[in-house]
Chains A and B, each alone.
Chain A
Amino acid sequence: MDAVDVSEHYEVTAADNSPSLLSIVLDTNPRAWAALDSSLSLAQAISNILVFVNAHLAFSNANQVAVIAAHVNRAVWLYPALQHPSSTTVKDNSGDVQMHDASAETSLPPPSANKYPQFAQIESSVFSSIQTLMAETTVQDLDQLTTQLSGALTLALCRINKAAQALSSSDTTLSNAAPVNATAPPPVKGRIVVVSVSDSDPSQYIPTMNAVFAAAHNQVAIDTISLAGDSTFLQQACFNTNGIFLKAANPRGLLTYLMFGLIPDTEARASLITPTHDTVDFRTACFCHGKVVDTGYVCSVCLSIFCTPPDNAECLTCGTVLALGNYGAKPAVLPRKKKKKKKIANGSGREETGSATGTPRP
């Protein structure tokens, strides 16, 4: 008899419950952590991060997590752990790394009844992987002051992409709508949180920015919590991907920063006011020496950036012979109308440009 009544049908809501995938990139630079040890040790930081990971997983049981260590010379999976935790990453013929979720591991001790099983697995996996990683770190590695961030970012993106594909392929039966096009929302809400403790390495500029643009293209947000150091490129990464950049003035409060600033995923951010970065360091690294430059020379053909005019005025990237007007002169800089900051000599000091627009998106 309800046929005349429409109320029942209106109550069918299409809630968006696509799973959200969080990838945490943890900067494990030993030198930087040693410097930070008095306020926050690596072990404490990892415990805090694990609580944050658990909080993310608590949102929905479709949510997933990956933890990746960005070490001085390579990027390492902490969770999900590799199948064979050996000294070198095991690769098959295609160069892919075999991965297994911890549920496949059988060697784990029986879980405690006081802990959600999934949380316990992640915890043991992360701790054992990081111990292996630290044990393998040699004295030579310690000379490195910076971290291989781009590799870790790329791994995180690969993981998100893999998850998205796995979901969309199992999902095809559900959609009677038009085939997936570029404007359709991705099947997973990907997000990368970088816990950074060291400076950005200028030589990493190009691979990092490539990863950032790939992330922006896939609608993956990159968030950063910077505990120490000067992460120029990560500021740009967050800006370009609509992520959140947090500079932790007090590293001891890492958990609060994480739980408060970084818990909302891309869905919740639609309705929340997120912390904004008022100034973004938009400087780039030159292609010739890997120096961070404020003003430089740009190839008019391929847009490569150089700190000094290249030899014979020939672009190092595309080989075009460039005609340099007024060869060797300093590039003319038009004074801004409102000058906010004093100029500091090129290269040494760091400075915010305060520019309102970012690098254009692909």
Chain B
Amino acid sequence: MPRAIRGVLIECDPSIKSIIVNIDSVNHDFIIEDLDEERVVVKENMVQLLKQKLEDRLKENLPPVDESGSE
């Protein structure tokens, strides 16, 4: 009997996906199913938290953007 599992499909680059997998590896409480290189299914209630963590991760690794903004 097939099963239907509620979740959120995330499609992204392999690099981003590896970060997601890495975030998940701490507690294994995000990912429901690792589909392929560019897709994972995560729990619906965890998406916001995941996004936030991902954002933080990205901020750590990205160089600050030059924002001179002189008039």
Contact = CB atoms under 8 A, between A and B. Distances in A.
On whether A and B touch (CB less than 8 Å), the answer reads: yes
B54 interface: yes
A72 B54 CA distance: 76
Nearest to A5: B51
Interface in A1-30: 1-5
Contacts of A3: 55
Q: Is the interface of B mostly helix, strand, loop or mixed?
A: helix
A2 B58 CA distance: 14
A3 B56 CA distance: 12
A1 B54 CA distance: 10
Interface residues of B, number: 6
A273 B52 CA distance: 50
A2 B55 CA distance: 9
B48 A1 contact: yes
Interface string B40-52: 0000000010011
Interface string B52-64: 1011001000000
Contacts of B54: 4
Nearest to A3: B55
A132 to B, nearest CB: 64
Contacts of B58: 4
Nearest to B57: A4
Contacts of A4: 51, 54-55, 58
Contacts of B51: 1-2, 4-5
A27 B55 CA distance: 68
Contacts of B55: 1, 3-4
A1 B48 CA distance: 7
A3 B54 CA distance: 11
A361 B48 CA distance: 58
A4 B54 CA distance: 8
A157 B52 CA distance: 58
A2 B47 CA distance: 10
A8 to B, nearest CB: 12
Nearest to B48: A1
A2 B51 CA distance: 7
Interface of B: 48, 51-52, 54-55, 58
Given A4-B51, A4-B55, 9 more contacts: A1-B48, A1-B51, A1-B52, A1-B55, A2-B51, A3-B55, A4-B54, A4-B58, A5-B51
